[in-house]
């Protein structure tokens, strides 16, 4: 089962947390240049203030209807979003943060749970600990959890803010209620095309022929169709940014000479650095490991590791490789037959957002050189 947890009127709700006087009153949030309305409370929606309304045209309307108009506060919204998402991790380790105010949870091994009660517990705890109201939709697939969430949001009194699709009867009823333009992933242009095929509701879309959808639409929309049918095809996105990157290998033969080992360590370090740049990260530390063949009991055994801490974060192959080679030189012992080595880079931070060092920094020429190297490597990989 999947859950979609969606924060209600997120920007307006964040403002209300720190200004309780706004509770129950119409609130509108403006874009970062105070140009137009980008979020509003339910009370403002009922007054028919349109999304995207240029505020200079609607200023009189807002005053006449006592709508509180606020400038956007993105640092606040980002902080509140992080709090909500961190809290949702308490309910399932499998989470995909879909947007600043939405997250999917996957429930593995929750077969005996009452999902209606569990959804209300999620909603209650988020509200109690952050002050942010949410709606929770729970269903066998991600696309259906989106549908369930819309029902919970549309009928808060009847659902208590939580709706569970846990039977085929509920699934069909929900799909027949959902307009095709409100289906996750169906844009305006596609809606027009589907309408010509007689698809006015989400249920109509599920009745299309699979082969026709694959041939005339796309594999992505085929997956959406199967998801709406209750067959999970749209899976949780796995986190792509790692907290540490490692390259470790066993040698084909044992090595007892330092030069061969230094060459391998340099190659491993270069691989780690390339992976760092690919995910736009830099590292604070590199760990080098070296180990003899533990299966040869009659040979002298040795295993050791060394950590090098950089005074500034780096993603440079030159810096990481040089430090790794220096590290392996200090732990190498003559006469030992080494079978395995590895390089780990850790203490990762975003390359474009980290604490600067007043006295030391990466050589700026390295950035251009690494960019050129990556481009060359990518070109040759593409040719292969």
pLDDT at 307 exceeding the cut of 50:
yes
What are the pLDDT digits (tens) for 185-206?
888 888 888 888 889 999 999 9
Residue 357 has a pLDDT of 52
pLDDT band at residue 65 using 50, 70 and 90 as cut-offs: very high
What integer pLDDT is reported at residue 168 of this predicted model?
Answer: 94
Higher pLDDT, 38 or 168: 168
Mean pLDDT of 63-67: 93
Q: Where is average pLDDT lowest: 2-6, 65-69, 92-96, 203-207? A: 92-96
Sorting pLDDT into bands at 50, 70 and 90, what band is 309? Answer: confident
Calculate mean pLDDT across residues 3-26. 93
Q: pLDDT per residue over 132-148, tens digit each? A: 999 999 999 999 999 99
Contact 287, 346 (CB under 8 A): yes
pLDDT at 383 over 80: no
Residue 196: its pLDDT value, please?
Answer: 86
For the chain, what is the mean pLDDT? 87
High-pLDDT (> 70) share of the chain, %: 94
**Mean pLDDT, rounded, for 103-125:** 90
327-355: average pLDDT: 84
Tell me: pLDDT of 354 over 80.
no
Task: Report d(CA 135, CA 88) in Å as an integer.
Answer: 13
Average pLDDT over residues 277-298: 85
Give, in degrees to the nearest 5, the angle at Cα 301 between 299 and 303.
150
What pLDDT is stored for residue 133 in this prediction? 95
345 vs 240 pLDDT, higher one = 345
Report pTM.
0.61
In this prediction, residue 265 carries a pLDDT of 93
The pLDDT of residue 384 is: 39
Across 25-46, average pLDDT: 88
């Amino acid at each position: 089962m999947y859950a979609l947890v969606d924060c209600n009127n997120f920007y307006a709700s964040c403002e209300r947390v720190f200004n309780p006087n706004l509770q129950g009153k119409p609130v509108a949030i403006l874009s970062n240049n105070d140009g137009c309305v980008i979020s509003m409370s339910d009370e403002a929606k009922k007054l028919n203030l349109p999304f995207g309304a240029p505020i200079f045209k609607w200023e009189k309307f807002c005053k006449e209807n006592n709508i509180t108009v606020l400038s956007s506060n993105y640092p606040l919204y980002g902080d509140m979003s992080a709090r909500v998402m961190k809290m949702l991790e308490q309910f399932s380790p499998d989470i995909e943060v879909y947007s600043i105010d939405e997250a999917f949870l996957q429930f593995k091994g929750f077969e005996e749970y009452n999902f209606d009660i569990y959804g209300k517990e999620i909603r209650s705890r988020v509200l109690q600990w952050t002050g942010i109201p949410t709606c929770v939709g729970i269903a066998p697939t991600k696309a259906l959890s989106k549908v369930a969430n819309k029902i919970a949001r549309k009928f808060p009194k009847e659902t208590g803010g939580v709706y569970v699709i846990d039977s085929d009867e509920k699934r069909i009823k929900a799909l027949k209620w959902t307009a095709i333009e409100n289906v996750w992933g169906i844009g305006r242009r596609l809606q027009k095309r589907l309408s010509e095929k007689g698809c006015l509701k989400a249920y109509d879309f599920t009745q299309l022929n699979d082969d026709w959808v694959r041939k005339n639409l796309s594999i992505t929309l085929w997956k959406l169709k199967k998801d709406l049918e209750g067959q999970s095809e749209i899976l949780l996105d796995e986190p792509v940014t790692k907290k540490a990157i490692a390259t470790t290998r066993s040698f084909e033969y044992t090595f007892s000479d330092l030069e061969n080992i230094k060459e391998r360590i340099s190659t491993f370090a270069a691989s780690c650095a390339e992976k760092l740049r690919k995910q736009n990260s830099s590292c604070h530390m590199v760990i080098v490991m070296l180990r003899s063949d533990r299966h040869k009991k009659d040979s002298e055994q040795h295993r050791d590791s060394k950590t090098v801490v950089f005074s500034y974060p780096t993603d440079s192959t030159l810096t990481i490789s040089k430090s790794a080679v220096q590290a392996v030189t200090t732990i190498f012992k003559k006469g030992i037959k080494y079978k395995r080595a590895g390089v780990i880079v850790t203490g990762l931070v975003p390359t474009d957002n980290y604490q600067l060092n007043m006295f030391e920094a990466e050589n700026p020429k390295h950035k251009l050189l690494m960019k050129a190297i990556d481009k060359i490597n990518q070109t040759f990989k593409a040719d292969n």
